[in-house]
Structure 1
Amino acid sequence: MRDNMVLRGSAAIVAVAAVAAVSACGTGGSGAAGQTHGPDTTSAAPSSGADALTGKSGGSTAGTSGSSGTGAAENCQKVTVSIGEPLPSDKTQSRIALTMMNSGTTDCVLRGFPGVRLGGKDGLPWDLGRTDDAVVDVPLAPGTAATSYLTYLPTTDASGWEVASLLVTPPNTTDTQAFEWTLGKVVLQDGATHPGTYVGSAVSQGN
């Protein structure tokens, strides 16, 4: 996979993704959809993907702890996203790191979940659910980064869902950034209660 094939999310990309979001699909994957390994997304915070990709905040909350204090760091607004290679795993699922770097010139805080949408070659958008991970403040100096992990359920089945793109909106921003998906088919579980594909909250790198 070529890392960081960033097709920066312009207003046009966001608009196209938002229009596509009106379509819906049931659980797919030729019976593999029963392999639900994910968290109960019904008990987690609502998925940020749909809101973030239609112009609203990508994060779960706009506030930061201690933000009322004098000189407290603001939410990061200039964030550059990059996509890592699949990480080693002994599970059915695979995982990649979404690295979110403070590309601004001042200290800031990244807090919450990125909005994440997979776009299918069939035109279907899938706004991913969140885990119930704790939301923490991640202070970032210019040039430093936080990480959110995207867990997905790959498949080689002929009826697997062919993914074309990955759209990521950093927490508390509306800056959607687009990437080509080169990791093969996934099991489509957009209607599942415990899908095997989901996104975690931002954490300090190395966590």
Structure 2
Amino acid sequence: MGGRIRPVSCIVSAALIGLVTATGGCARVESGGALPAAAPPSGSTAPAATPATPPLAACADVEVTVGSATPVAGDQQTFKFELRLRNSAATDCLLSGFPGVSFAGADGRVLDVPRSAASYQQVRLSPGATGHSELVTKLGDNATGWHVSKMNVTPPNGTKAVPVTWPHGPFVLKGDQIAPGNQIGPVLPG
């Protein structure tokens, strides 16, 4: 043995002082602390980190349909329509906010529908799933209303408008704008 002292344990006086400090690869534990995770043995590698899930993209491939008219109580000209936005892509996507809605008239004008004041949420759509938004419009009569040839719907955070047939009749205008009371709501689940 030749006069060399070999340590039997790194933790000789831990119970007495509540603090262990050692050399030669032993851990340091302070009162109330825990041992750190052991390092991998030399010559081996640590396990690879799990790759982070990429954030979901905004829905780009959507099919848009318009539901039937539901009259608003107390107003013979105002109707609610459900716009349904279906994810037609092969992957999940997010709708967050309001769809852009505009109407193209038979006279060549294009008018945008204002957004409601409602708050919105993120809506995750799996392939084939649908979110919806409420469109409120004031419809006019055939003689005095603004005749719409088509509707364009741009999904929230999207850039590609989806043309949709508008089968519900002419709009009430106020000057050259869509009359007050017309609005589009945020996308909601289902």
* Residues 162 and 192 (structure 1), Cα distance of their counterparts in 2 relative to 1, 3 Å cut: closer
Deviates more, 1:106-115 or 1:157-166: 157-166
Counterpart in the other structure of 1:130: 115
What is the CA deviation profile of residues 81-101 of structure 1, one whole-angstrom value per residue up to 9, with x for unaligned ones? Answer: 111111243242101111111
Kindly indicate whether residue 36 of structure 2 is the aligned counterpart of residue 89 of structure 1: no
Normalised by the length of structure 1, the TM-score is 0.60
**Aligned equivalents of 1:161, 1:71: Cα separation in 2:** 45
Counterpart in the other structure of 2:21: none
**Aligned equivalents of 2:122, 2:71: Cα separation in 1:** 27
Kindly indicate whether residue 185 of structure 2 is the aligned counterpart of residue 200 of structure 1: yes
Asked if 2 retains the 8 angstrom alpha-carbon contact of 1:136 and 1:203, the reply is yes
Identify unmatched segments of 5+ residues in structure 1: 1-68
Identify unmatched segments of 5+ residues in structure 2: 1-51
RMSD: 2.2
Asked if 1 retains the 8 angstrom alpha-carbon contact of 2:142 and 2:169, the reply is no
Q: Quick check: which has more Rg, 1 or 2?
A: 2
User: How far 1:135 sits from its partner (Å)?
Assistant: 1.8
| RCO higher in structure (CA 8 A, sep ≥6) | 1
SS at match of 2:70: coil
* Residues 157 and 102 (structure 1), Cα distance of their counterparts in 2 relative to 1, 3 Å cut: closer
User: How far 1:182 sits from its partner (Å)?
Assistant: 2.0
Aligned residues with identical type, % of pairs: 34
What is the CA deviation profile of residues 43-83 of structure 1, one whole-angstrom value per residue up to 9, with x for unaligned ones? Answer: xxxxxxxxxxxxxxxxxxxxxxxxxx744322222211111
**Aligned equivalents of 2:175, 2:157: Cα separation in 1:** 24
Counterpart in the other structure of 2:166: 181
Size of the alignment, in residue pairs? 137
